[in-house]
């Protein structure tokens, strides 16, 4: 299991654990994290799983994959340098303790 801490726009924190190999989005939805919708189920067809990877972790999650930037253009909240689609980040043991900030809006 890989621990992830989500920080909502209002500062509320929620920590969950996800299986290695699952996406951040899948772990968030399975644990009922407010602020991750995942309307398309993780097929990179929407931006309702938009998140901001904490700057201290951005180098460990890797760059956006092809097409991810295009989808982020549809995000309801501001897109930042650390913006990612949480469906495209797979959990690995190296991401233990990952911190994810959530945007104010997804829709």
Q: Does the pLDDT value for residue 80 go beyond 90?
A: yes
Cβ atoms of 18 and 30 closer than 8 Å: yes
24 phi and psi angles, rounded to 5 deg: -60, -40
DSSP-assigned letter for residue 75: -
pTM for the full predicted model: 0.95
Torsion of CA 21, 78, 48, 43, to 10 degrees: -50
pLDDT greater than 90 at residue 66: yes
Which band of pLDDT confidence, cut at 50, 70 and 90, is reported for residue 7?
very high
Residue position matching structure tokens 């700057």: 55
With beta carbons less than 8 A apart as the criterion, state whether 33 and 46 touch: no
Taking 90 as the threshold, does the pLDDT of residue 107 lie above it?
Answer: no
3 and 96 Cβ atoms separated by less than 8 Å: yes
Q: What is the chain's mean pLDDT, rounded?
A: 96
State pLDDT tens for residues 9-46.
999 999 999 999 999 999 999 999 999 999 999 999 99
Give the residue ranges of DSSP H helices in the chain: 24-30, 58-61, 68-72
**CATH 3.30.1490.70 for domain 2-101:** no
């Amino acid at each position: 299991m890989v621990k992830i801490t989500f920080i909502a726009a209002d500062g509320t924190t929620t920590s969950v654990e996800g299986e290695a190999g699952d996406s951040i989005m899948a772990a968030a939805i399975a644990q009922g994290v407010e602020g991750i919708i995942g309307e398309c189920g993780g097929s990179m067809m929407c931006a309702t799983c938009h998140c901001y990877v904490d700057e201290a972790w951005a180098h460990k999650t890797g760059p956006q994959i092809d097409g991810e930037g295009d989808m982020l253009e549809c995000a309801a909240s501001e897109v930042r340098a650390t913006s990612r689609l949480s469906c495209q980040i797979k959990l690995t043991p190296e991401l233990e303790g990952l911190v994810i900030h959530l945007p104010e809006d997804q829709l």
